[in-house]
Amino acid sequence: MKKILNKPADFVPEMLDGLCKAYPNQLTYAEDIHCIVRADSPVKNKVALATGGGSGHLPVFLGYVGKGMLDGCAVGDVFQSPSAEQMLSVTKRIHGGKGVVYIYGNYGGDVMNFDMAAEMADMEDIKVKTVLVKDDVASAPPAEAGRRRGVAGMVFAFKVAGAKADLGGSLDEVVAVTEKALANTRTMGVALSPCTVPMAGKPTFTIGEDEMEIGMGIHGEPGMKREKLQTADQIAERMTTAILDDLKPSAGDELAVMVNGLGATPPEELYVIYRKVNQILTDKKLRVHRAYVGEFATSMEMAGASLTFMKLDAELKTLVDYPANTPFFKQV
Amino acid sequence: MKKILNKPADFVPEMLDGLCKAYPNQLTYAEDIHCIVRADSPVKNKVALATGGGSGHLPVFLGYVGKGMLDGCAVGDVFQSPSAEQMLSVTKRIHGGKGVVYIYGNYGGDVMNFDMAAEMADMEDIKVKTVLVKDDVASAPPAEAGRRRGVAGMVFAFKVAGAKADLGGSLDEVVAVTEKALANTRTMGVALSPCTVPMAGKPTFTIGEDEMEIGMGIHGEPGMKREKLQTADQIAERMTTAILDDLKPSAGDELAVMVNGLGATPPEELYVIYRKVNQILTDKKLRVHRAYVGEFATSMEMAGASLTFMKLDAELKTLVDYPANTPFFKQV
């Protein structure tokens, strides 16, 4: 384990303390450092947006707390769900009088805890609605899309929901447009190397020096298959085809495209992937409205990349283009 | 070598093609794809800023081409200097009538080629001035500061120079404030693992599983010493102390602080470092005016981190806070 750490058990609270100290005008915490909220919470008369999940995925989840995106985030230990109490604490702190939307990835522990938090919030007269992110095409076939995992596509959900809430949308309107965004969003990834969870001290999985895993999840969950490492163009084509087969856009459609690095893969390699993705889309008469290339949803120091497409209509384009300013995501 | 690549020889041009396609409204190229410039070049009646250097350090160098920072960048192969002709091509394309400032790291090949480019530009009646970045305290003792390497501190130079130029500064004014910024800037880094240059196909150096290199350069150049891997707090303290001993700020001084990941180190670990740095500075009555934590100057997939301080006066604070919008660096 080659990490820059103190005691593994202190990793998450120390990381959060560093984060709040780095951006004192943007972030603070509610009750406990594991409940990160906007420093200006609650924003009155705005639908508040909360997410939550395990640590180890920065910028997901808490990196998107800020103006034009999320209001708060319940933070678990590395790859662990935060508790219902944490999510309730976030919810109470961010509620600005127009209700709260929970937007998070479809993982069992998170769903159980956040549903419980929503019930507890309801008892305190805070209306909560939930939108689950299930964008990973590799995790289940189309007929079983309801059990797909949430991965990098959740960033587009945060972006769209955050813009709609900032523009004054009602609770139902924010939920509706976020669900529309997610119905149009698909992701697929490949992993080249594992990561090490500090408390475990050993790699999450093993993989040969000449192998890659197609469709691996962001905690190292198995994907569709393991095979020989391919070229960047082949990997780009594999991911693009898998998504397009599932999303079925029409010629002339406009997309938001995200090429996301899982942690250790250099940005240079992500641009080599983007080049081929852009070429394939152009050949198919699909237009890139906006491209995002970088690290948006990671797995510690895992090597690999994911690709996300969101098919846009006029409303989604406006919301994607809307400004945002969080510690990890700025759009001007 | 576990990389997402096509032919290693195509790595840089394919990366650049992907980059220009990802941000068509922000970036384009002059003559050749290895000469990246702002899409709206030349910006009339503004001092133009150029940099250059090898690939493999994203966001350094070309990631800072954009509004409020640089106008153009000559791009070399991985860890290789670009040619004088490339820098001349960039210079001619970005010149807006008020002269051009070259800002880049103190490396032999770059200095030789860019000095030649400046001479060639002069023959075409374009006035060029040069500011060399020499911020790495680990690369030479204070008495020999003139031969220090340029590392992550160059990002602060780009920021300050870019703001001054955007505010209408003259060629001499931009040079003067950039030199002042660099006189107040120091960096120190640690490396935990090597990286692999695509054309070479093997790691740039070897290091034990329990070792770290104190003060290593961003191409794998040796640092001050190799020792046992320390805790995050010890590493933060080592870097902070080395910089403060050299920079010698006074109690009450304000700093811009950058904790920079070298590639494979997760952002979570960078925040654990920042926490300790912030604590030490607070104890010494030094104030953090603005903190930057993330990947700003990398070495492909090298694990490790660097720390940079820039001591600020009123003018530098204004320039640091000025907005910027490049593909890799946005400040609002």
Give me the residue from B18, B209, B266 closest to A300, CB to CB.
B266
In a domain, B3, yes or no: no
Give yes or no: A219 in active site: yes
Q: Is the separation of the CB atoms in B262 and B302 below 8 Å?
A: yes
Which string of DSSP letters, residue by residue, matches A321-332? HS-EE-SS-EE-
CA distance B149 to chain A (A): 22
Q: Does the pLDDT at position A241 exceed 70?
A: yes
The nearest CA of chain A is from the CA of B224 a distance in Å of 19
The SS3 of residue A224 is: coil
Same domain, A206 and A102: no
Q: What percent of chain B has pLDDT over 70?
A: 100
Strand ranges inside B178-331, DSSP E? 185-191, 211-214, 225-228, 254-261, 287-294, 304-312, 324-325, 330-331
CA distances from B134 to A17, A115, A184 (A): 32, 54, 49
* Cβ within 8 Å, pair A5-B232: yes
Report the C-alpha gap between B93 and B38 in whole angstroms.
9
Tokens of A76: 């678990």
CA angle A157, A160, A166 (to 5 degrees): 130
Task: Tell me which H or E stretch contains B80.
Answer: none
| pLDDT of residue A147 exceeding 70 | yes
Q: What average pLDDT does chain A have?
A: 96
Q: Is A2 a member of any domain?
A: no
The residue from A183, A204, A227 where one domain ends is: A183
pLDDT tier for residue A223 given thresholds of 50, 70 and 90? confident
Say whether A6 and B209 touch across the interface (CB within 8 A).
Answer: no
Whether residue B330 lies inside any domain: the answer is no
Per-residue confidence (pLDDT) for residue B220, from 0 to 100: 84
Which residue from A14, A291, A303 is facing B301, i.e. has the nearest CB? A303
Q: What single-letter DSSP state applies at residue B265?
A: S
- By Cβ distance, the residue of B21, B23, B275 closest to A14 is B275
The interface residues of chain A toward chain B in range 212-271, judged by CB-CB distance below 8 A, are 229, 231-233, 235, 263-271
Q: Is B228 exposed, middle or buried (0-12, 13-18, 19+ CB in 10 A)?
A: exposed
Chain A residues touching B274 at Cβ < 8 A: 18-19, 21-22
Tell me the shortest Cα–Cα distance from B303 to chain A, in angstroms: 8
Residue A152, both tokens: 């990098």
Question: Are B91 and B101 within 8 A, CB to CB?
Answer: no
Q: For residue A151, which of A38, A303, A299, A328 has the smallest C-alpha distance?
A: A299
CA separation for the pair B164, B220 (Å, rounded): 33
Are both B226 and B309 inside the same structural domain? yes
**A277 plus A292 within the same structural domain:** yes
Q: Are A115 and A122 contacting, i.e. CB atoms less than 8 angstroms apart?
A: no
**Residue A1: its pLDDT value, please?**
62
The answer to whether A55 and A73 are in contact (CB under 8 A) is no
pLDDT at A327: 97
Q: Which residue bears the tokens 């870019």?
A: B162
Query: Among partner residues B6, B300, B328, which is closest to A266 by beta-carbon distance?
Result: B300
Residues recorded for chain A: 332
Give residue B221's pLDDT: 87
Gap from B130 CA to chain A (nearest CA, Å): 27
Q: Report the pLDDT averaged over residues A54-73.
A: 98
Q: Is B279 within a domain? A: yes
Instruction: Report the alpha-carbon distance of residue A327 to residue A283 in Å, rounded.
Output: 36
Count CB atoms within 10 A of the CB of residue A130.
16
Please tell me whether residues A153 and A189 are part of one structural domain. Answer: no
Among A144-158, B152-166, B216-230, the minimum mean pLDDT is found in: B216-230
| Judgement on whether residues A137 and A202 belong to the same structural domain of the protein | no
How far is A271 from B55, CA to CA, in rounded Å?
A: 13
Nearest CA-CA distance, residue B88 and chain A, Å:
24
CB contact at 8 A, A116 and A146: no
Contacts of A277 (CB under 8 A, 6+ apart): A236, A239, A240, A257, A259, A307
Cβ separation B18–A300 shorter than 8 A? no
Name chain A contacts of B294, Cβ cutoff 8 Å.
328
| A271·B4 Cβ contact <8 A | no
Query: Does some domain include residue A6?
Result: no
Which domain-ending residue is among A121, A149, A183? A183
Are A196 and A1 contacting, i.e. CB atoms less than 8 angstroms apart?
yes
**Mutation to test the A interface, candidates B237, B272, B274, B321, most A Cβ within 10 Å:** B272
Interface subset of B 181-210, CB within 8 angstroms of A:
192-193, 209
Distance from the B119 Cα atom to the nearest Cα atom in chain A, whole angstroms: 32
Residue from A4, A26, A259, A307 to probe the interface with B (highest B Cβ count within 10 Å): A4
B188 to chain A, closest Cα gap in Å: 15
The model's pLDDT over A106-121, given as tens digits with 9 standing for 90+, comes to: 999 999 999 999 999 9
Which residues on A lie below 8 Å from B301 (Cβ)? 264-266, 303
Task: Identify the pLDDT of residue A2.
Answer: 86
Q: Are residues B216 and B244 in the same domain?
A: yes
Mean per-residue pLDDT of chain B: 96
Are residues B256 and B315 located together in one domain of the fold?
Answer: yes
CATH code: domain of residue A280: 3.30.1180.20
Are B73 and B212 in a shared domain?
no
Most B CBs within 10 A among A55, A77, A272, hence the mutation to make, goes to A272
What does the pLDDT average to over A217-224? 87
Nearest to B203 by CA among A153, A288, A91, A209: A209
- Identity (one letter) of the amino acid at A92? K
Is B289 tagged catalytic? no
Which chain A residues are within 8 Å of B56, Cβ to Cβ? 266, 268
Residue A165 sits in the same domain as residue A19:
yes
**Confidence band, pLDDT 50/70/90 cuts, at residue B185:** very high
d(C-alpha A117, C-alpha A87), whole Å: 6
pLDDT-derived band at B1, boundaries 50, 70, 90: low
Enclosing domain of residue A280: 185-321
Sequence-separated (6 or more) residues with CB below 8 Å from residue B243: B137, B186, B187, B188, B307, B308, B309
Residue of B nearest to A293 (CA): B22
Of A3, A56, A265, the CB nearest to B4: A265
ipTM reported for the complex, 2 dp: 0.97
pLDDT, residue B85, reads: 98
Q: Residue A291 and residue B22: Cβ atoms within 8 Å?
A: yes
Q: In this complex, do B264 and A209 lie within 8 Å of one another by their Cβ atoms?
A: no
Do both B312 and B200 map to the same domain? yes
The three-state secondary structure class of B133 is: strand
Say whether both B230 and B278 belong to one domain: yes
**Assigned domain for A332 exists:** no
Task: Identify the DSSP state of A67.
Answer: B
Q: Do B6 and A231 touch (CB under 8 A)?
A: yes
pLDDT tens figures, B111-136: 999 999 999 999 999 999 999 999 99
Is B29 exposed, middle or buried (CB count within 10 Å of its CB: 0-12, 13-18, 19+)?
Answer: buried
Check residue A237 and report its DSSP letter.
H
Q: Is residue B232 part of a domain?
A: yes
Give the residue-averaged pLDDT of B302-308: 97
User: Cα-flanking dihedrals φ and ψ of residue B154, to 5°?
Assistant: -65, -25
Token readout for B89 is 């091509």
Strand B48-55 vs strand B72-78: parallel, antiparallel, or unpaired? Answer: parallel
CA angle B36, B323, A166 (to 5 degrees): 110
Tell me how many domains chain A contains.
Answer: 2
Nearest-by-Cβ selection for A268 from B56, B231, B291: B56
Give domain status of residue B264, yes or no: yes
Q: Are B204 and B158 in contact (CB under 8 A)?
A: no
Q: Is B232 in Cβ contact with A4 (below 8 Å)?
A: yes
pLDDT value, residue B222: 83
Residues pairing with A257 in the sheet: A291, A309
Confidence (pLDDT) at B48: 98
Q: Extract the runs of DSSP E, i.e. beta strands, from chain A.
A: 27-29, 35-38, 48-55, 72-78, 100-105, 128-133, 185-191, 211-214, 225-228, 254-261, 287-294, 304-312, 324-325, 330-331
What is the pairing mode between strands B100-105 and B72-78? unpaired
Would you tell me which residues 150-169 of chain B have a C-beta closer than 8 angstroms to some C-beta of chain A?
none
- Rounded CA-CA distance B117/B111 in Å is 10
- Beta-bridge mates of residue A262: none
State yes or no: pLDDT of B277 exceeds 80: yes
**The last residue of a domain, from among B183, B204, B233:** B183
* A21 and A167 inside one domain: yes
- Alpha-carbon distance of A276 to A288, in angstroms, equals 13
Rg of chain B (C-alpha set): 19
**Binary contact (B271, A18; C-beta < 8 A):** yes
When pLDDT is averaged across residues B277-292 and rounded to a whole number, the result is: 98
CB atoms A2 and B330 under 8 Å: no
- Residue B108: give its domain's CATH number: 3.40.50.10440
* A283 and chain B in contact, CB less than 8 A: no
Span B25-56, pLDDT tens digits:
999 999 899 999 999 999 999 999 999 999 99
Could B5 and A331 be called an inter-chain contact, meaning their C-beta atoms sit closer than 8 Å?
no
Asked if the Cβ–Cβ distance from A192 to B55 is below 8 Å, we say no
B11–A303 C-beta distance less than 8 A: no
Q: Does B223 have pLDDT greater than 90?
A: no
